[in-house]
Amino acid sequence: MIEALPGEGVPGEQILGELRELRRADLPTHGGRLFAYVYDPALDGLDDLARAAYAISAHVNGLDPTAFPSLLAMENALVGAAATLLNGGGPAVGSVTSGGTESLILAVKAARDSRPELTTPRLVIPSTGHAAFAKAAHYLRVALDVVPVGADLRADPAAMAAAITGDTVLVAASAPSYAHGVVDPIPALAAAAAERGVRFHVDACFGGWVLPYLRRLGADLPEFDFAVPGVTSISVDLHKYAYAPKGVSILLHRDEALRRPQYFAYAGWPGYTMINPVISSTRSGGPIAAAVATLRSIGDNGYLQLAGRTREAVAILAAAVEATDGVRLFTPPETSVVCLTADDPAVDLFVLADELAVRGWHTQPQMSFAELPATIHLTVTAAVRATAGEFAADLAAAVAAARARGPVVLPEALLAAAGALTPEMVTPELVAGLAEGLGLGGGDFTRMAAVNSLLDVTPPALREALLTGFLSLLQRPAPATE
Ligand SMILES: Cc1ncc(COP(=O)(O)O)c(C=O)c1O
């Protein structure tokens, strides 16, 4: 536990030691064995550079670019680089946001506010669209129309077109989707939206900085950017495959007029007139300077090489999955995601994820959804090229161990109790009791198979309530000690 406000200040060296000690509990952000949350190019010296750049601009405030022209220059440079990479150079404009979710919220806001006459603006997405679209719809009171994807896990252009109504302000799709790493058929979808005069957003938050390079390397991937007529906006996260430290995404619009309703302006109070392109008003220049340093240090050729390493790592991991009895690729990997599932009832995927973690491979289990089975997701970055060769043996051992342990069998009483629960019945006491019963009380999250199995059979609304309750349990200060 760390005391944030001691009576007397504490020496810097001691504080840094405490922070390092705290970090020891985290998953490893470097080393090519964590397949979610972090993106590692494994380039010597890059972290130090980004840190130094961050420090230079940490106290610069993005609230007013006329006061801090350094930030304006850096933001324009980042937006320009993204626009060029995504074939929007020239008329395309954009904003630097804090992350993919903020970029998507703002894309939806701009679309909504471009049609002020509508009382029920609507957003159309495929069922594989990122959860941040649901968050945007929720925050902005835009109705969400979710269209099932086809058997190939891609948005279905005919079904998406059929979902467009006179109230639709935005149609969106992914390039690629997070869960499976597949690219939606952007040209057909954008054409359908354009035909109805509706904005079309490409969520390239995840892959927007690696897809252009994979295409340059010869990967058979469809066009997905401003080269496609009808694409009106694109989001791309620099804190993903551009390998910048956390806190930077770009939202691009094809032209200035499309961006205009993204701004919020308010002069109706006695203080300064607030004009914000993004959700935050005061914001640090640190992440933006770190992103500029990262892009300039790696450069276009560097990104091409990193994409090449990522591609090789994907191929090695995919071959390991194919060579292992008991698991199979859920879909052929076409970008930077390897997604696998079990093909033997004796192999419980959630037990397998635990067994991989025990062997130092931290993957992301994905619950079953509609007709889709549970899967394990691996976000592959360039750092994985160095470790990928060790994966096959550990995967085989983990599958054997999962077989030996057998599938999770949840106690009948627990299943019955969970089956009778509704989201309204989820109280803090119930969540605390459940967490204790499932062994989560001590803060050790390495053996999660039982928890995941229970969540997997829990309807989405109840799962949301349980996990909200659990996070709320975690996110509170320790009781004060005398
Ligand atoms: C396709 C896609 N869109 C949006 C997001 C949200 O990004 P963030 O977590 O930076 O808010 C993600 C994150 O993984 C993503 O993969």
CATH number at residue 191: 3.40.640.10
Residue 475 Cα to ligand 1 midpoint, Å, equals 22
Q: Which domain holds residue 274?
A: 52-294
Burial 260-283 (b: 16+ CB within 10 A, else e): ebbeeeeeeeeeeeeebbbeeeeb
Please provide residue 341's backbone torsions phi and psi, each rounded to the nearest 5 degrees.
-140, 170
Q: Give 119's contacts (C-beta < 8 A, 6+ positions apart).
A: none
Question: Of 294, 312, 343, which one is at a domain's C-terminal end?
Answer: 294
pLDDT score of 481: 67
Atom of ligand 1 nearest to the CA of 102: 11
Whether residues 249 and 121 fall in one domain? yes
Of 361, 302, 359, 314, the closest CA to residue 339 belongs to 314
Quick one: which of 446, 457, 451, 450 has its CA closest to 409? 450
Please tell me the distance between residue 340's alpha carbon and the centre of ligand 1 in angstroms.
20
| Angle between helical axes of 449-456 and 460-474 (0-180°, round to 10) | 140
Collapsed DSSP state (helix, strand, coil) of residue 328: strand
Please report the pLDDT score of residue 218 as a whole number: 98
Q: Classify residue 39: in a domain, yes or no.
A: no
Quick one: which H or E segment has residue 95? strand 93-97
Is residue 42 one of the residues assigned to a domain?
A: no
Please tell me the residue having the least CA distance from ligand 1 atom 7.
Answer: 100
The residue among 294, 321, 342 that closes a domain is 294
Cα of 127 from ligand 1 centre, angstroms: 15
Q: Which atom of ligand 1 is nearest to the CA of 177?
A: 1
Q: Do the domain assignments include residue 455? A: yes
CA distance 74 to 448: 43
Tell me how far apart the alpha carbons of residues 207 and 204 are, in angstroms, rounded to a whole number.
5
CA 172 / ligand 1 centre spacing (Å): 14
| Residue 396: inside a domain | no
469-473 contact pairs (CB < 8 A, 24+): 469/426, 469/427, 469/428, 469/430, 469/431, 470/431, 470/435, 470/440, 472/428, 472/431, 473/428, 473/431, 473/432, 473/435
- For ligand 1, atom 8, the nearest C-alpha belongs to 100
**Spans of the chain, pLDDT less than 70:** 481-482
Residue 335 lies in a domain: no
Give dist(CA 147, CA 343) in Å, integer.
27
Specify if 393 maps to a domain.
no
Domain-embedded: residue 45: no
The whole-number pLDDT of residue 283 equals 97
Are 282 and 431 part of one and the same domain? no
Residue 422: its pLDDT value, please? 95
Single-letter code of the amino acid located at 102: E
Q: What is the pLDDT of residues 276-315, one digit of tens each?
A: 999 999 999 999 999 999 999 999 999 999 999 999 999 9
Q: Is the CB of 180 under 6 A from ligand 1?
A: no
Domain end residue (candidates: 279, 294, 309):
294
User: Are 416 and 290 in the same domain?
Assistant: no
Number of domains in the chain: 2
- For residue 204, the ligand 1 atom closest to its alpha carbon is 1
Do residues 205 and 235 touch, judged by C-beta distance below 8 A? yes
The answer as to whether 97 is a domain residue is: yes
Same domain, 289 and 416: no
User: Using alpha carbons only, how large is the chain's radius of gyration in Å?
Assistant: 23
Ligand 1 neighbour 241 (Cβ under 6 A): no
